[in-house]
Amino acid sequence: MKKENNKKYWQFFWRSWAIQASWNYERQMNLGFLYGIAPTLNRIYKDPKDIDKKKEAYKRHLAFYNCTPQTSSFVLGLSASMEEQLAKNPDDFDPESISAVKSSLMGPLSGIGDSFFQGTVKVLAFGLGINFAQKGNILGPILALLICLVPAWLVTWYGAKWGYTAGNQFLSKLNSEGAMDRVMFIAGVVGLMVIGSMVSSMIPLTTPLHMGTTFKLQSTLNTIMPKLIPISLTMFMYWLIQKKVKTGWILAICIVGGILASVFGILKA
């Protein structure tokens, strides 16, 4: 069992390093995440009779995903343990909980991971490296790489291990205590908060429309609900997706609509 688990940890570890290899604007790291969890899904659903369940699992992990690569191994391990639980107890385990947990972890782990690796480790590493390099010391680039890689390796390895082992223990405890519904509800709420904050921060649209110096439409909208335009446009895009409108048409609507709204002074970023 220990040898088998170590093999899983190494799979999460190595595959999480490639999580941004297929980065895309629509769902960002989803293909990389699917690549990381694919061996687990193939092992669980290796019976040809389970081909439909495998397709559902693959589709489930093609949803939007964006997280610091180094901390993604934890999400991979946890998701893999949840997929195993689902395969063992399909009647007592809601597959939606896997997506809810993934969504709820993206924000916190990205906040911790980005601030640590991008804002602290890299600044320290290359600050010291440049100092040595300016003096002609070969230790400059070597030291910079080591300071970047060692913490990344440790966090990625232990993240994969703790995510999988803690996930199994935690899920077994929840199932025995009948608390899975409450955890799903909480994870769903946190996930929606994360998506809501992403809408607010990544779609900075406002309107410059006004009448004289007294009435400004954006100020009025802010009194009704801050970020009303971004959330309205997001819901419109969601409605188009629900109506099965093709991605190409949605992109065309965004590009052409954005250009026209900017030219006529209706919206600005």
pLDDT digits (tens, 9 = 90+) for 104-162: 888 788 878 887 888 788 888 888 888 888 888 888 889 889 988 999 999 999 989 88
For residue 215, give the 3-state DSSP assignment.
strand
Of the candidates 14, 10, 34, 12, the one whose C-alpha atom is nearest the C-alpha of residue 23 is: 34
Structure tokens that stand for 78 in this block: 């946890």
Q: Which residue has the higher pLDDT, 76 or 196?
A: 76
Q: How far apart are CA 64 and CA 67, in angstroms?
A: 10
Residue 97 has pLDDT above 70, yes or no: yes
Phi then psi dihedrals of residue 24, to 5 deg:
-140, 160
Give per-residue pLDDT as tens, 20-73: 988 988 889 999 999 999 999 999 999 889 899 999 999 999 999 999 899 899
Domain boundaries, given as residue ranges, for the chain: 1-202, 204-268
Nearby residues of 199 by Cβ (< 8 Å), 6 or more positions away: 227, 230, 231, 234
Q: For 178-228, what is each residue's pLDDT tens digit?
A: 555 666 667 667 667 767 777 777 778 888 888 877 788 888 888 888 888
Residues listed for the chain: 269
Pick from 2-6, 130-134, 185-189, 246-250: least confident: 185-189
